[in-house]
Amino acid sequence: MIYKISYVVRGGTHPGAILDSDTLPKVDDEVTFGGALFGIVEVMELMPARGGFGFLHATCVPLDEAEDD
């Protein structure tokens, strides 16, 4: 299964991201995108899975201030 994940960042200035992952994201996981580190605080299904793809949403909070994109 490939997970297409909508990441929304609460707090900070990062606009969020849409990224694929081959692992299911979970609350308390850490994820890096745009050169910054985020902690996942919520995961939900955004649309039903179809054709080997899962469609998820994860709410994140910044864990550091570094940002290079």
Partner 1 sequence: MSVAGLLKDTALFSGLSDDELGAVVNLCVERSFPAGSIVIRQGDVGDEMFIIQDGHIEIVVVGAKPELRVVVLGKGQILGEMSLLDMGFRSATARSATAVTLQVIKQADFAALCEQDHGIGYVVMRNLAADLSFKLRHRNLATM
Residues interacting with partner 1, by CB under 8 A? Answer: 2, 4, 6, 8, 13-20, 33-34, 46-47, 50-53, 55, 57, 59, 69
- Cross-strand pairs, 66: none
Q: What is the distance between the alpha carbons of residues 59 and 38, in angstroms, rounded to a whole number? A: 9
State the nearest-atom distance from the C-beta of 6 to partner 1, in Å. Answer: 4
φ and ψ at 10, to 5 degrees? Answer: -95, 120
The residue (of 16 and 39) whose beta carbon lies closer to partner 1 is 16
CB of 64 to partner 1, least distance (A): 16
Q: Are 69 and 34 in contact (CB under 8 A)?
A: yes
Cβ at position 9, least distance to partner 1 in Å: 8
